[in-house]
A and B are shown apart, each in its own frame.
Chain A
């Protein structure tokens, strides 16, 4: 029988009708919808149980305690450690997305020489050549680490000089170090026992020092009260976050903070508001008023306010001798609630600027902030984990990423008490990365190794029998039966905190009142943050909330 066109039509009609009595259309409809819920090009989070590890943050010198959640061997979440006596569970905002940093597009993964890919052997031979020709300087961003001792040892054995790049916070402390003849690395602020803090533009609530230390203090004793236990007086040209939250805000002209400090000192001396005797500042109130743009009355008012509730402490964001001198006048040096000398002695490091950069080569450690650009025509070997862009370095050497290397975190620059953390390598070191210490050890295998250095630090602390180790609950050092036991605790993320500094441990004497130097602009932690890049999330959120202008080079 022959099939007509009509048959075909009717047959098709039959098929069409029949299909609706099969699972085909319905199942397809469902599965396609499920497909849209699990699009193959959308990344899936890792599976498997989550374990929590504790460690210390190494992204800057603040030594915050980190609680890291790990899945399938990768960090998948970060939060603070509430049992950490210094940070009390707080972190800087960037810390919460820090586990993304290792995959940042700007991550350095290969040696680069003048912008071109090079090999480690080339870099090594180049550096060896430089060492042979000498002189060479090694710049450390965070002195006092186990790794620093490796750098130091190399310097000692190869006639190269070991230098440090001081953070703005440490620089602010240098005047006291000079006047008191003590190492700047052992100085800190006893914020906990002071009752009035006068900040000359220091971003106290915005990443200054160890985040969490002051913010917690402020929220407990200052926030939201018209007559707080802790008075925060912010002196800053613009209404910064700290200024917006301060108890009082004074807005002098840009760079006139030093003058204001001297003027206030003058008032204190003239009106005998302080007992201490120091050389009279060479400034008149009218000049000061003219320079700062504040009225003479408000300068007086400020002076009176300072001595109303003592102890009082003045803090500058960067080196500012006048502010330091004001502290001396206020008796805020070497006393509780002032600038204090910590118990553990530390060597006083030589800043890089000390000898005008006449070097054949400079090796810059990965802890040195990206902003640090040596004014020298030496051959620069820069270790870094991320490429912050616009680097003048001849060699860019990729170093291990966040949580990728075993290192230790010594006391934070502004801390009042000595602390010690060990940061374990929670994730494997990325291929092709070498830390400065590893690099130098390749050249000289007789150098001490970081792990041993950490071990000896722990033994050292154990011998002093001072302070306590804070894990979930604190354990006094003397209660540990062995240094190893204590080290294991520290390696698991516990923090050692030493005794509070003794009062009167040091004092400063002023020969004459320092000349007022224009202060550097206050920098919030967006600047002090060590990595030259923001975690992509942070960059995104600050852009979308228009809360903070992330510097262009920090964009994800």
Chain B
């Protein structure tokens, strides 16, 4: 069966604790920051950012939005631009994947991504002495000078496939394939599943009136959906959808 893995992230449940970021980085062997790193040169395949309604005092409202690769379905911006096929939309899972070993580090895909979900390895990955023993065997360490991004913890998908093969099943057991960030979220704000399956809870949630996607007008059909009942968040997120000329900044 052709799957289309995606998420619905409930912004009303996100407390901005950052567990998803850390679980993601640990799962994917992201190195600790080098001394000269800045907030804009680090590797954060999952990045929680703060939103605010821009007011002060008692009227101030804040929320948090986890940003990861949106797994664009249509005209995936990064795929078309890569000069040497290091980026590809996986046919069987719909995952937008990146093979750092093929990448030559031209960073064209990063300029193409409107969600800033791609990250460049500016430094050689280095760990404090001995800490390399704690690396996840399932994920290869990226070398300096290549681009990387979220690939929905595809290693865990491999594990699920292997299990299925031994059990003689054709399909994986959904319970075996849960990305690290989804597993880590203490409030269960991230719903993960197969959007191609009409009965999957994630599909139902994605179709609820409260759910939306970032920069929908650009037409990249992201498979990462967001959900909120708070009007100010919705207004901010839909800024480009509704009033294309009214700029409002946080």
Q: Identify which of A45, A71, A75, A556 contacts B140 (C-beta below 8 A).
A: A45
Question: Given that A39-B143, A103-B134 are known contacts, is A224 also in contact with B13, CB under 8 Å in the complex?
Answer: yes
Interface status of A463 (Cβ within 8 A of chain B)? no
Q: Interface size on B (CB < 8 Å)?
A: 64
What A residues does B127 contact at CB under 8 A? 43, 103, 536
Chain A hits for B130, CB < 8 A? 102-103
A544 vs B49: C-alpha distance when bound (angstroms): 10
B249 within 8 A of A: no
Given contacts A42-B125, A91-B186, contact A542 B32 (CB under 8 A): no
Please measure, in the bound complex, the distance between the C-alpha atom of A537 and the C-alpha atom of B22, giving whole angstroms.
Answer: 7
Would you give the shortest CB distance from A210 to chain B, in whole angstroms?
11
Cross-chain contact A48 with B101 (CB below 8 angstroms): no
Contact in complex: A544, B17 (CB < 8 Å): no
Interface stretch, picked from B55-63, B70-78, B108-116, B194-202, is B55-63
Question: Beyond A43-B127, A205-B15, A223-B187, is A539–B22 a contact (Cβ under 8 Å)?
Answer: no
Known: A42-B124, A541-B18. A223 touches B27 (CB 8 A): no
Chain B residues with CB under 8 Å of A544's CB are: 33, 37-39, 42, 44, 47
Q: Does B3 contact A (CB under 8 A)?
A: no
Interface of chain B residues 17 through 33 with chain A (CB within 8 A): 17-19, 21-23, 25-27, 29-30, 32-33
Chain A stretch 524-556: residues in CB contact (< 8 A) with chain B: 535-548, 556
Shortest Cβ distance from B210 into A: residue: A224
B132 at the interface (CB under 8 A from A): yes
CB of A389 within 8 Å of the partner chain: no
Closest beta carbon of chain B to A131's beta carbon, Å: 36
A241 to B188, CA, bound (A): 17
A-side interface size class: 35 or more
Q: Is the interface of A mostly helix, strand, loop or mixed?
A: mixed
Q: Is the CB of B62 within 8 A of A239?
A: yes
- Out of A43, A216, A538, name the residue touching B135 (CB < 8 Å): A43
Q: B42 touching A76 by the CB < 8 A rule?
A: no
When chains A and B are docked, how far (Å) is the Cα of A545 from the Cα of B38? 10
**Inter-subunit contact A79/B129 (CB<8 Å):** no
- How far does the alpha carbon of A218 sit from the alpha carbon of B10 in the complex, in Å? 14
Besides A77-B26, A91-B184, A244-B16, 14 other CB < 8 A contacts? A42-B124, A42-B141, A42-B143, A43-B132, A46-B133, A76-B133, A79-B183, A79-B184, A90-B186, A100-B134, A224-B12, A535-B22, A539-B33, A556-B32
14 A-B pairs in the complex with CB atoms less than 8 angstroms apart = A43-B135, A72-B133, A79-B23, A80-B183, A93-B17, A96-B23, A103-B127, A103-B130, A206-B17, A215-B15, A245-B15, A540-B32, A544-B38, A545-B48
- A interface residues with partner B (beta carbon < 8 Å): 36-37, 39, 41-48, 50, 69, 71-72, 74-80, 89-94, 96-97, 99-100, 102-105, 205-207, 211-212, 215-216, 218-219, 223-226, 239, 241-242, 244-245, 249, 251, 535-548, 556
